[in-house]
């Protein structure tokens, strides 16, 4: 099965062509109406004159009075499906052009109609915003339009459409040709004819705007994201969160690969990017209330401060705050939120019994950093008791407090506070780190600007040595770009400080990687050391950052001997790629082989361990503390120089 076209030939008894429905689904402005008009003309050339049920037209007649709630949307689609079924069973042709955002409702339409061809009219959100001459997406991103699909309401892309048309890079004629080829292969039309010439214009539309088939330009000024704040982040549920690309008038670059392969990967987890960072004027209003001592205050731990930053920039999408009791217990027990969405790590806020007693549900609570700085406001919804031993056993696979993640659970207050947060500012970071703290909206923008359709992410809390370099270059051979994404939040006290690691990454990239293929950014997350579960957690965050692939090596996020060497890879076997939304890349332990005179793994090297050189991160730290040189087979000399220099002087963590 191709991701762009499914061939499923059917027989045609007696030469009579059956009726059929072509169901065009996609976000507003993706080009459904334009494609429907061009397809209508192409079918008319064969003597098939289809009925066209356009979503905007149907709402003014058949579904007049319906709103945009889930129930009303479903009612609208059921009505369209009913009419389509009546026409189709009489041998007629129907073209439906409707957003139809919910997969379950589309599947019900398929079951009702029978002769059903689903066409996914796919277009990246950044391109939709750029096309939108009415500014509807901009208003929705600012929160001025409620229940806007792809922004404040989810859109669920088809899992197995018969045809996928990528309207940001395929012309009208190309899209029509793909649909006609599918119809011909299924026996619905006699032969594929060339659709009316429409030049090379891409499919486009904006909130129902129409134009002549094949002649709709990509209109609208690609200004900066209308809801962007000074830090480049947007507040609220921002579709895939991507700011607009490039200079004014510039189109999105495209890669040379086969982007259709990655169409189901790298979308925000849960369907939209959820950013809880408040705009400047709202921050000022909350600060004014704090100056009047109008809010109760609660100090947060360094880990919780990191979580607030990730809630603010959208890295923890779809979370809007700290988990309530139903989500907490479901995540601990089943690796899922209460609604069923995959989520492996409980993101919670702890309080002592006395602190919790002074707070009431429905109250706003100021969350204060360990340094006394207001970071966020919690809109307290629920107070409930934690289950620390159960959480430790399920998440960390041990109840031993020698495990740093378990120790953090035990040290946390016994009462958990659930509710949405409004983030006021990120925790203070060293000046050297700030240029690298790109949020998901910014990395997605950068990927689009560079024309990367497939991006592999690499998680690390150590300097990149020769073994890592080998994995990165191997992975980079199969994708457009690499996001080197070191974790710079709270880690163990004996880990190499973040600013030193960043200097190592800079030195390595400058000499050994093509600059146009790599983006260095930093993830301000705290390490949980949760092994297998944290591997999924890290993958989902990188999915929110816009990555399509994620490297999982040996003992990912491990500590001590609490996990098996490849447990973090095996856990992915319990989930489908569709629900993960990011493709894990598994690699075995690598080493420098003196006989091979290069990097290798057990899969590629026939020699014994006596000629393999390996050094763990722990061993590297031991050598640095002892002032001993790092072997060139283990690390590049430029990286070794940074580490050695840092080991000789005090550094800031």
- Is-contact 583 622, C-beta < 8 A? no
Tell me the helix, strand and coil percentages in the chain, rounded to 5: 35, 15, 50
Whether residues 333 and 452 share a domain: the answer is: no
Whether residues 412 and 504 share a domain: the answer is: no
Sequence-distant (≥ 6) Cβ neighbours of residue 176 within 8 angstroms: 35, 38, 39, 42, 195
Whether residues 161 and 300 share a domain: the answer is: no
Q: Which residue has the tokens 């050189």?
A: 613
Residue 212: pLDDT band with limits 50, 70, 90: very low
Q: What pLDDT, on the 0 to 100 scale, is given for residue 249? A: 26
- Is-contact 636 615, C-beta < 8 A? no
Whether residues 120 and 202 share a domain: the answer is: yes
Percentage, residues of the chain above pLDDT 70 = 84
In this structure, are strands 236-237 and 274-275 parallel, antiparallel, or unpaired?
antiparallel
Is the pLDDT assigned to residue 288 strictly greater than 60? Answer: yes
* Residue 567 within a domain: yes
* Residue 428 within a domain: no
- Is-contact 588 601, C-beta < 8 A? yes
Q: What pLDDT, on the 0 to 100 scale, is given for residue 440? A: 93
Interval 118-146 mean pLDDT:
83
Task: Give the three-class secondary structure for 503.
Answer: helix
Whether residues 409 and 491 share a domain: the answer is: no
Highest mean pLDDT among 175-179, 236-240, 288-292, 329-333: 329-333
Whether residues 418 and 440 share a domain: the answer is: no
The residue ranking higher by pLDDT, 156 or 617, is 156
Q: What pLDDT, on the 0 to 100 scale, is given for residue 562? A: 96
The answer to whether the predicted template modeling score (pTM) of the entire model surpasses 0.85 is no
CA-closest candidate to residue 251, choices 126, 166, 150, 122:
126
Q: Which of 372, 392, 423 is the C-terminal boundary of a domain?
A: 423
Average pLDDT, the chain: 83
For residue range 77-107, list pLDDT tens digits in order. 999 999 999 999 989 999 999 999 899 999 9
CA distances from 481 to 7, 71, 446, 542, 645 (A): 32, 41, 11, 13, 31
Q: What pLDDT, on the 0 to 100 scale, is given for residue 619? A: 74
CA dihedral 418, 423, 428, 431 (to 10 degrees): 140
Catalytic residue numbers read 100
Residue 146: pLDDT band with limits 50, 70, 90: confident
Range of 232's domain? Answer: 13-252
What distance in Å separates the CA atoms of residue 128 and residue 151, rounded to the nearest whole number?
A: 12
* Residue 375 within a domain: yes
Whether residues 493 and 419 share a domain: the answer is: no
CB atoms within 10 A of CB 592: 23
Task: Give the domain CATH number at 286.
Answer: 3.10.400.10
For residue range 549-577, list pLDDT tens digits in order. 999 998 899 999 999 999 999 999 999 88
Q: Which residue has the tokens 């041990």?
A: 398
Interval 18-33 mean pLDDT:
92
- Is-contact 406 398, C-beta < 8 A? yes
Q: What pLDDT, on the 0 to 100 scale, is given for residue 461? A: 83
- Is-contact 555 527, C-beta < 8 A? no
The residue ranking higher by pLDDT, 617 or 534, is 534
Q: What pLDDT, on the 0 to 100 scale, is given for residue 193? A: 43
What distance in Å separates the CA atoms of residue 548 and residue 48, rounded to the nearest whole number?
A: 41
Is the pLDDT assigned to residue 497 strictly greater than 90? Answer: no
Is the pLDDT assigned to residue 389 strictly greater than 90? Answer: yes
For residue range 227-249, list pLDDT tens digits in order. 222 223 333 333 333 322 222 22
* Residue 382 within a domain: yes
Residue 4: pLDDT band with limits 50, 70, 90: low
Domain count, the chain: 3
CA-closest candidate to residue 100, choices 140, 46, 63:
63
Whether residues 585 and 461 share a domain: the answer is: yes
Residue 29 burial (CB < 10 Å; 0-12/13-18/19+)?
buried
Whether residues 33 and 181 share a domain: the answer is: yes
- Is-contact 565 555, C-beta < 8 A? yes
* Residue 5 within a domain: no
Interval 60-77 mean pLDDT:
81
Percentage, residues of the chain above pLDDT 90 = 53
CB atoms within 10 A of CB 605: 18
Whether residues 439 and 419 share a domain: the answer is: no
Buried b (16+ CB within 10 A) or exposed e, 469-486: bbbbebbbeebbbbbbbb
Q: Which of 372, 397, 423 is the C-terminal boundary of a domain?
A: 423
- Which of the residue ranges 129-133, 189-193, 508-512, 633-637 would you say has the lowest mean pLDDT? 189-193
Task: Give the domain CATH number at 501.
Answer: 3.40.50.620
Q: Which of 423, 448, 467 is the C-terminal boundary of a domain?
A: 423
* Residue 268 within a domain: no
Whether residues 363 and 341 share a domain: the answer is: yes
* Residue 262 within a domain: no
Whether residues 480 and 606 share a domain: the answer is: yes
What distance in Å separates the CA atoms of residue 599 and residue 620, rounded to the nearest whole number?
A: 18
CA-closest candidate to residue 424, choices 269, 241, 233:
233
* Residue 322 within a domain: yes
């Amino acid at each position: 099965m191709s991701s762009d076209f499914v061939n499923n030939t059917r027989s045609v008894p007696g030469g009579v062509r059956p009726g059929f429905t072509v169901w065009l689904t996609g976000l507003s402005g993706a080009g459904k109406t334009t494609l429907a008009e061009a397809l209508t003309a192409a079918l008319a050339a064969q003597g098939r004159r289809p009925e066209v049920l356009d979503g905007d037209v149907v709402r003014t007649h058949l579904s007049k009075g319906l709103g945009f709630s889930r129930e009303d949307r479903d009612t609208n689609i059921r009505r369209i499906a009913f009419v389509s079924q009546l026409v189709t069973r009489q041998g007629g042709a129907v073209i439906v052009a409707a957003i139809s955002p919910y997969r379950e409702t589309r599947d019900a339409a398929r079951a009702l109609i029978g002769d059903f061809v689903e066409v996914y009219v796919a277009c990246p959100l950044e391109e939709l915003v750029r096309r939108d001459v009415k500014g509807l997406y901009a208003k929705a991103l600012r929160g001025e339009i409620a229940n806007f699909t792809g922004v404040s309401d989810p859109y669920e892309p088809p899992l197995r459409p018969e045809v996928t048309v990528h309207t940001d890079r395929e012309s009208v004629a190309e899209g029509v040709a793909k649909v006609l080829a599918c119809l011909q292969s299924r026996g619905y039309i006699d032969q594929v004819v060339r659709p009316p010439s429409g030049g090379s214009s891409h499919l486009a539309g904006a909130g129902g705007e129409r134009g002549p088939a094949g002649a709709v330009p990509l209109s609208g000024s690609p200004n900066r994201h209308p809801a962007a704040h000074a830090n480049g982040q947007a507040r609220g549920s921002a579709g895939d969160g991507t700011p607009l690309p490039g200079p004014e008038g510039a189109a999105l670059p495209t890669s040379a690969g086969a982007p259709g392969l990655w169409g189901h990967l790298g979308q925000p987890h849960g369907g939209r990017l959820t950013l809880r960072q408040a705009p400047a004027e709202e921050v000022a209003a909350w600060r004014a209330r704090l100056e009047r001592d109008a809010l109760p205050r609660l100090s947060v731990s360094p880990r919780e401060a990191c979580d607030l930053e990730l809630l603010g920039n959208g890295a923890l999408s779809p979370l809007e705050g700290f988990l309530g009791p139903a989500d907490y217990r479901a995540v601990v027990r089943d690796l899922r939120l209460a609604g069923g969405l995959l989520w492996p790590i409980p993101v919670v806020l702890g309080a002592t019994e006395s602190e919790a007693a002074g707070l009431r549900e429905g109250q706003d609570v100021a969350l204060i950093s360990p340094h006394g700085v207001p970071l966020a406001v919690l809109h307290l919804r629920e107070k409930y008791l934690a289950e620390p031993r159960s959480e430790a056993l399920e998440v960390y696979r041990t109840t031993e407090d020698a495990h740093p993640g378990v120790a953090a659970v035990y040290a946390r207050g016994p009462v958990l506070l659930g509710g949405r947060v409004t983030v006021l500012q990120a925790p203070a970071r060293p000046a050297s780190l700030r240029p690298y703290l790109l949020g998901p909206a910014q990395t997605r923008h950068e990927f689009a600007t560079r024309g990367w359709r497939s991006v592999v992410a690499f998680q690390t809390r150590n300097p990149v040595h020769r073994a890592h370099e080998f994995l990165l270059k191997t992975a980079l051979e199969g994708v457009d770009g690499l996001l080197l994404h070191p974790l710079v939040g709270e880690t163990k006290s004996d880990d190499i400080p973040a600013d030193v690691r960043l200097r190592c990454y800079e030195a390595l990239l400058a000499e050994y990687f093509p600059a146009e293929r790599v983006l260095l950014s930093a993830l301000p997350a705290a390490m949980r050391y949760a092994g297998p579960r944290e591997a999924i957690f890290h993958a989902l965050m990188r999915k929110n950052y816009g990555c399509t692939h994620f490297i999982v090596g040996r003992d990912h996020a491990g500590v001590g001997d609490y996990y098996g060497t490849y447990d973090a890879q095996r856990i992915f076997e319990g989930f489908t790629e569709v629900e993960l939304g990011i493709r894990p890349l598994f690699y075995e332990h690598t080493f420098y082989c003196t006989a091979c005179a290069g990097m290798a793994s057990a899969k590629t090297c026939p020699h014994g361990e006596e000629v393999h050189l390996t050094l763990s991160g722990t061993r590297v730290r031991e050598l640095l503390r002892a002032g001993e040189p790092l072997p060139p087979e283990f690390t590049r000399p430029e990286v070794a120089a940074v580490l050695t220099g840092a080991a000789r002087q005090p550094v800031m963590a």
